[in-house]
Structure 1
């Protein structure tokens, strides 16, 4: 083994990618917009490799699902920070549902007063959250599925099934992922109800955060699986004895988490500034460009896993990220809002953001209908991507008044939500046996976690 290929040399190379950002933060240097984007973006890349290696190494000592759940939380931590900032500003400015209802949409959009700006920030919190969730599925799930099939020719990934017919090759998922999919399904069903309350309130917090707590309680009690054959850095660290191995994992998690948390916000903010300087509307930047930047660590981590023919772990990470964003992220917004407001309050949003939540829930519903049989074909991945990207492009053109349609942007969202829901329901009906199997597997995981025997043995194989 050459010095350059030694696992520690690879770790040193990843650390080197973060040095520029560490130096910039330590000295407080003002790099300027473009250099900040470059330096922070390179740091995110390096930290993502460290995070992936930490999660893979951790599988030696903890259930893989739990290690991936930790990875997912760290990778999307910047998204939480961005959303929390807008929710805090909304609460600090007194943006209650009653106060915002008394203002016109134009006044809120223009931020004419401090209260109007607070109401605008409340809408931005929802927009950023829904944008991040739709990107994770529309680009993350779809893109990684296609990438996995494409890379299978070189990686020999056993999870990829080659089928005859146009774009019918598929990625097969491990049935152990049934727990994540089931809890995401429950959170998605609840999300359809959120707009009916006129804001995100304590009930949403209790239900969504409660779902995530129960999910973590189940997976943390799972068995440590016979480890997959790792290579490179994870394999090297897994040979270390206790207590050094878990200390390395904690170190990798801590360092990469700090790097990602501190570097992604300036990276996203720099991209926003570049976009605004080129005439892209603020709302569009907050909903799509900032979340795309904040989701980049997660996507990089999954690409690393897929390149190692670990597509199952990669999809586990993506689904776990979607689950914690669709539960913890939504559920904690009202908590942050209330803390800033100084008393209990409901995070308000307008009818446009209600439509954004509905289309986000509907997209999740459709994507889960695709995954309910534990596989996703290239054809299905492209359908998810095309529906996502076409809506974004059409809405952007509507906002810029580049096209004329018989519907406005809000009605467009509702139209797409209806398409997602109808097609998703048709898939669930056609795959009702797969749905029953998925719920049965998740129920057995829950029973096992509390020390009871599984009852759905027919789904074990």
Structure 2
């Protein structure tokens, strides 16, 4: 009997769900008290208090978003789940962009959280999910008597994922326009937001392969197995409460990151770029790993790919708009360090797209992603970063040559009718790829 079926639908909230929600609210409580009273003893304590609130609220968001898939099916559910999961990052980044409109000192932080989170997502999140999914698949295959070369070495993605990969390929190429111009103009931001809107609309019309008997685990299972009315009230309430906590904590959390760097003698840019994403991305990684542990590696990767699209379109597109309403000009300027970071992030995205363009995620590709991600922490000078970006492009070129038959079907996927994305050319490419592998 599955976990989800063992939890009987009930009109009241199960005790485990109540305990976990209360725990999250307790962790967020001090931040709410600090915010209401204006109490701010020192930046480091503020960092832990408001950072803890963001993490706690992020977990509630992740639980509610996963359970909501019972009522929102198909590719649209994954796109919405990914959008909700990155709300903490949006709150922090948009605050920096808005503040930079009146205080130029904050311009350097406006996109720092985005570039760090984006690279963390692809360089650590994607490989982690692949390793877990392949471990689960190999364990299951071994239990059936398989061994040696017959054990799974590749995570296959469904044909419907070609839409996501195609859109990500498009925005990865467009992303290079930002470092080339040294700014994010409002008109370019509006273009990126329009691409996101088109992606969401396309995902909503995509073939629906949702199964009403999909299993949920843990906290999401308790929510999903409530009666329909109680379930919707519960996850909507969790969305509202967690969003309110995140939005109220975003400003003091963002300020404490900058001030803590000065107090601790640590580069503030480093804290903004990596500490904030660790706080905001942790629940999303946990949800993705849970999918992989349940044998749903493709769904896990799909969620993380959709998050990449959200970051490169809606988030980046919103930054110059926030900067403008904060009193800045019609473009968010980037200094030399940010230009370098955008080149590195965009080149890594191109490499990621090239690796999965055939909808097959190999172990060697996951190892390459995490290895190159780790290298960046030891290569800190500008020349080294550009060399690393070049390596990303070289790896991408090799992967594209190997998967050349998949390039056209993937790049054309965003422009094809929804019902034809998962079949036709995509399936023929898959057959050719499998034949080549044999």
2:189–2:320 CA contact under 8 A, matched in 1: yes
Q: TM-score, normalised by structure 2?
A: 0.81
Q: Within 5 A, what are the aligned runs for 1:411-450? A: 411-444=383-416, 446-448=417-419
TM-score normalized by the length of structure 1: 0.78
Deviation at 1:199, TM superposition (A): 0.9
Count of residues in correspondence between the two structures: 410
Whether contact under 8 Å (1:126, 1:353) holds in the other structure is yes
Q: Is the 8 A contact 2:99 2:326 kept in 1?
A: yes
User: Which position in structure 1 is the counterpart of 2:292?
Assistant: 306
Deviation of 1:44 (Å): 5.2
Q: Choose from 173, 190, 195 the match for 1:211.
A: 195
Asked if 2 retains the 8 angstrom alpha-carbon contact of 1:52 and 1:305, the reply is no
Please name the residue that 2:376 is paired with. Answer: 391
Question: Structure 2 vs 1, CA of residues 221 and 243 (structure 1 numbering), >3 Å: closer, same or farther?
Answer: farther
2:320 is aligned, of 329, 334, 349, to 334
* CA gap 1:41/1:174 in 2 versus in 1, 3 angstroms: farther
Residue matched to 1:104: none
The correspondence of residues 147-226 of structure 1 with structure 2, limited to 5 A, is 147-152=132-137, 156=140, 169-222=153-206, 224=208, 225-226=210-211
* RMSD over aligned Cα atoms: 3.4
Give the whole-Å Cα distance in 1 for the aligned partners of 2:109 and 2:148.
45
Q: Distance in 2 between matches of 1:67 and 1:317?
A: 9
1:202 to partner: Cα distance: 2.3
In structure 1, stretches of 5+ residues that fail to align are 94-117, 396-408
Match of 1:13 among 10, 19, 22: 19
2:76 equivalent among 51, 58, 66: 66
Distance 1:423 1:144 in 2: 21
SS in 2 for 1:229: coil
Distance 1:369 1:84, change over 3 A: same
Q: What is the deviation of 1:255?
A: 3.1
Report the counterpart of residue 282 of structure 1 in structure 2.
268
State the shift of 1:141 in Å: 1.4
Pairwise mapping of residues 44-63 of structure 1 onto structure 2 (< 5 A)? 46-63=56-73
Give me the whole-angstrom Cα distance separating, in 2, the residues matched to 1:20 and 1:47: 11
Indicate the residue corresponding to 1:404 in structure 2.
none
- Closer/same/farther in 2, CA of residues 374 and 10 from structure 1, 3 Å limit: farther
Distance of aligned partners of 1:458 and 1:337 in 2 relative to their CA distance in 1, 3 Å threshold: closer
- What is the rounded CA distance, in whole Å, between the counterparts of 1:420 and 1:285 in structure 2? 25
Contact 1:157–1:309 (8 Å) recurs in 2: no
Which of 291, 299, 308 is 1:322 aligned to?
A: 308
User: How far did 1:235 drift?
Assistant: 4.8
